Structure 1
């Protein structure tokens, strides 16, 4: 009887957690399928950016100088382990939880406790900035063309995510760096939600809530 009671006590919270996960996933895919800015259409000419994605993270790749926006003052050569990477003409910028970013330089470092800690919530967030050449379009680099006005709105959102006077941290390699960011990270505002928020702010058609990579990249 004691073993049966113990099994019941253990099974109940596990079952509740599983139901919460399923409910979150259902809400995520529903929110990601409902369009914001439904009438948006890409212009024939404009500024081409890229939505980059991997199995857990999305970010934005933008030209360093375009439509009156200049990222060179935000992504300085002296912030890099090798300043020569600053010669590249594009920057990839993403937002995320500090411990997850700094503690997972490769997939082998991704641990459930780090993911869980990030999803519970944290005010410690970072911007990840990587210098790179213009990417080739593909499944992991999806091109999106914006009008100059839309691109300026997108850039303003991204710039506002940097914490004024914040610290800089070494990147994963020679051509990237981290910077203190604004914003609270949790299960409802993830790195992918930030990417979707930036695109919605610019006026681009994307899901209403985009906590997963597929809910962002699937629109492009």
Structure 2
């Protein structure tokens, strides 16, 4: 009897996995409603580390200086000369326990996938990513830039005009930190879904649902000029 239940359980997991991948392929192929940019007023990057896509934005451009929201004093190293800042949203517990991919454990993964974990924004100060093979240069117009900024602002826990709330999780190095964020990570709203939503807000054509990083980068490669 126990083996029969185990067989059914494994079969169910396989069906769930195939259904998830199938839904990702189908929904990514269906474009979201268009917010196409009409000019190239603001330049930024999407960078893929092989698992998730981060947004790399100029530290100070387009009327926004990110140092006001993410003060250099929050970072253990000297970030005053950084020209870009990368942003990536995800599950707090997973970030806290997985500084390296070899540190992945089942517990934090399960908590993240099933709405049992809060979220944070991972912020990294760094140099210009131009020419990096994993990064794609993007542009948007004034309206797209403002939508992108508004999307990022809405991701952070309410701050009432004050700097974002620095989370207690230590960074992975001297130039990164974590900040409290809104929303919960899940099987259906992954870090890449957040990135795709941000890119769509910025006028990039995205699929309806893109839980994998390669789906986002593939979409961006199809946009003329990217």
Pair in the same fold by TM > 0.5: yes
> Would you say how many aligned residue pairs link Structure 1 and Structure 2?
214
Name the residue aligned to 1:23: 19
Moved over 4 A (4+): none
Structure ranking higher in helix proportion = 1
The answer to whether the Cα contact below 8 Å between 1:53 and 1:141 also exists between their aligned partners in 2 is yes
Give SS of 1:218's match. helix
Name the residue aligned to 2:108: 114
> Does structure 1 residue 49 correspond to structure 2 residue 44?
yes
> Does structure 1 residue 206 correspond to structure 2 residue 206?
yes
The answer to whether the Cα contact below 8 Å between 1:92 and 1:131 also exists between their aligned partners in 2 is yes
In 1: Cα distance, 2:22 partner to 2:95 partner: 26
Give SS of 1:156's match. helix
In 2: Cα distance, 1:134 partner to 1:148 partner: 21
Give the C-alpha shift of residue 203 in structure 1.
Answer: 2.8
Q: How does 1:60-209 map to 2 (within 5 A)?
A: 60-82=55-77, 84-165=78-159, 166-169=165-168, 170-209=170-209
Q: TM-score w.r.t. structure 1 length? A: 0.90
In 2: Cα distance, 1:215 partner to 1:181 partner: 24
In 1: Cα distance, 2:44 partner to 2:166 partner: 27
User: What CA RMSD, in Å, does the superposition of the two structures yield over aligned residues?
Assistant: 1.8
In 2: Cα distance, 1:53 partner to 1:112 partner: 24
Give the C-alpha shift of residue 39 in structure 1.
Answer: 7.2
Give SS of 1:174's match. coil
Q: Which moved more, 1:17-26 or 1:143-152?
A: 143-152
Gaps of 5+ in 1: none
Once the two structures are superposed, what CA deviation does each residue of 1:28-77 show, in whole Å capped at 9, x if it has no partner? Answer: 1211222124573673x321111111222111000112221221111211
Q: TM-score w.r.t. structure 2 length? A: 0.88
In 2: Cα distance, 1:41 partner to 1:80 partner: 34
